[in-house]
Amino acid sequence: MNGPLAAEAAALDRADVLAAKRAEFVLDEDTVYLDGNSLGALPRDVPARLADVVAREWGELRIRSWGESGWWTAPERVGDRIAPLVGAGPDRIVVGDSTSVNVFKAVVAAVRIARQDDPGRDEVLVDEATFPTDGYIAESAARLTGTRLRAVPAAVLPSALGPRTAVALVNHVDYRTGELQDLPTLTALAHDAGARIVWDLCHSVGALPVGLDAHGVDFAVGCTYKYLNGGPGAPAFLYVHGDLQPRFDSPLPGWHSHADPFAMSSGYVPAEGAVRGRVGTPDILSMLALEAALTVWDDVDLAAVRRKSLALGDFFLRCVSTYVRAGRVSSVTPTERERRGSQISLRCAGPGTGAGTGEGVEAGELSAAEVMDALISRGIIGDFRHPDVLRFGFTPLYTSFLDAERAARALGEVVG
């Protein structure tokens, strides 16, 4: 059954310049997939490419593939494919390892540079709502570098930056609320304070233009399994600003980052450029699946992605206010477009959330976790984050306005 906003959704889909992209992904029409901010959908061309890598490059060419199939240079080559999506020039990005490992490399290297310039800097700032892994890694990086970690709310970061700050580690888009931080302003403020900044782009790469080179960002990391659709466990990336590349002193100087790896010498001599961010043998199967997945971006205008992402978010919020009983959910994602990533997070007060029953919630109503379970059983795939947040990720390459309408309508039915 259609809701009152279904006709409008269909019209928006007809006018969508990215609509044709959906056919490049493996999706089924019975499911509304709104979890591309956790695991992107499978691009259609990936299975055949991966089958070729396994059967021919590994199965037939075997060891020769390191050279003949370009395996050895894949981390830089795939990095150069990601570069335009984050506003980076060539040889600035290397792909490999997990985001967590790249946070470690970036934070330690950034502290080393900051303290070379000014040994008095003894603090690493992190936004206190950070995705947990960043906070855990930053705490260890701080201990290893003789600094201390200070967690502050993102809104307080501008005033927390000061003469003691070595590095600030900031999530560009908050994984829980979907709030977008002002990267140009915070980067400039960090530099004004004499500090270095590391951005975690997990929830912004592929969702909005980032402009790393243009804004003078020092270091950035990000994952490739969300909006870049690289697949489960796809390798992450590390960006190092061009001016800092010669000073990048990796805390994990493995042999793949050596200037002459096959010299097998006992002394470490770092390679120049992005290669310096490598560690050991890359996960070639995942790396090449990611490379194949990135071809969907070849003809995509990121400004159009951002326009559609914001339009989907606006439309979804309108559908929610039309279909869902007043007071049952409220958006924790800022309504201002310039403060939003590509997800809408709804607080769903109820039993077992620790958030009280909330206005408009009656005894016996479903908790947020139960609401998400009920949505998933109806084929609406979002996710739940503690204690009471329902997340709906909008992936402009394959999410339609009808998806947004169907999800909000189902939510209204589930919460009653």
Binding site for ligand 3DJ (CB under 6 A): 38, 175
Query: Which residues are bridge partners to 124 per DSSP?
Result: 149, 167
Query: Known binder of ligand: residue 131?
Result: yes
Residue 384 interacting with ligand PLP (CB under 6 A)? no
Binding segment for ligand PLP among 98-106, 250-258, 350-358, 381-389 (CB under 6 A)? 98-106
Residue 223 interacting with ligand PLP (CB under 6 A)? yes
The amino acid at 19: A
Q: Which residues contact 124 (CB under 8 A, 6 or more apart)?
A: 107, 111, 138, 141, 142, 145, 147, 148, 149, 150, 165, 166, 167, 168, 169
Q: Between 401-415 and 368-377, two packed helices, what is the crossing angle to 10 degrees?
A: 120
Least distance (Å) from ligand PLP to the CB of residue 230?
Answer: 11
CA distance 333 to 342: 10
Choosing from 347, 391, 406, 409, the catalytic residue is 391
Choosing from 80, 97, 200, 388, the catalytic residue is 200
Least distance (Å) from ligand 3DJ to the CB of residue 233?
Answer: 7
The listed partner (ligand 3DJ, ligand PLP, none) that binds 133, CB under 5 to 8 Å by sort, is ligand PLP
Choosing from 25, 104, 131, 401, the catalytic residue is 131
Residue 175 interacting with ligand PLP (CB under 6 A)? yes
Least distance (Å) from ligand 3DJ to the CB of residue 170?
Answer: 15
> Is 323 in the active site?
no
Choosing from 112, 226, 308, 406, the catalytic residue is 226
> Is 316 in the active site?
no
CA distance 195 to 87: 22
For 134, 161, 162, 204, 257, the CA distances from 105, given in Å and listed in that order, are 12, 21, 23, 20, 13
CA distance 162 to 249: 24
Query: Known binder of ligand: residue 200?
Result: yes
Nearer to ligand PLP by C-beta: 194 or 387? 387
- Pull the structure tokens for residue 80: 């150069």
Nearer to ligand PLP by C-beta: 109 or 415? 109
CA distance 406 to 416: 15
CA distance 362 to 275: 58
> Is 391 in the active site?
yes
Query: Known binder of ligand: residue 255?
Result: yes
Shortest-Cβ-distance residue relative to ligand 3DJ? 175
Residue 202 interacting with ligand PLP (CB under 6 A)? yes
The listed partner (ligand PLP, ligand 3DJ, none) that binds 171, CB under 5 to 8 Å by sort, is ligand PLP
Query: Known binder of ligand: residue 261?
Result: no
Nearer to ligand 3DJ by C-beta: 38 or 245? 38
CA distance 119 to 98: 30
Nearer to ligand PLP by C-beta: 92 or 203? 203
CB 360 within 8 A of CB 12: no
Least distance (Å) from ligand 3DJ to the CB of residue 188?
Answer: 27
Least distance (Å) from ligand 3DJ to the CB of residue 103?
Answer: 13
The listed partner (ligand PLP, ligand 3DJ, none) that binds 200, CB under 5 to 8 Å by sort, is ligand PLP
Least distance (Å) from ligand PLP to the CB of residue 22?
Answer: 24
CB 360 within 8 A of CB 329: no
Task: Give the distance from CA 14 to its chain's centroid.
Answer: 29
Residue 239 interacting with ligand PLP (CB under 6 A)? no
Residue 236 interacting with ligand PLP (CB under 6 A)? yes
Least distance (Å) from ligand 3DJ to the CB of residue 399?
Answer: 17
For 20, 21, 278, 388, the CA distances from 300, given in Å and listed in that order, are 11, 9, 28, 35
Residues forming the annotated binding site for pyridoxal 5'-phosphate? 99-100, 131-134, 200, 203, 225, 255, 281
Specify binding-site residues: 99-100, 131-134, 200, 203, 225, 255, 281
Active site positions, annotated = 131, 200, 225-226, 391
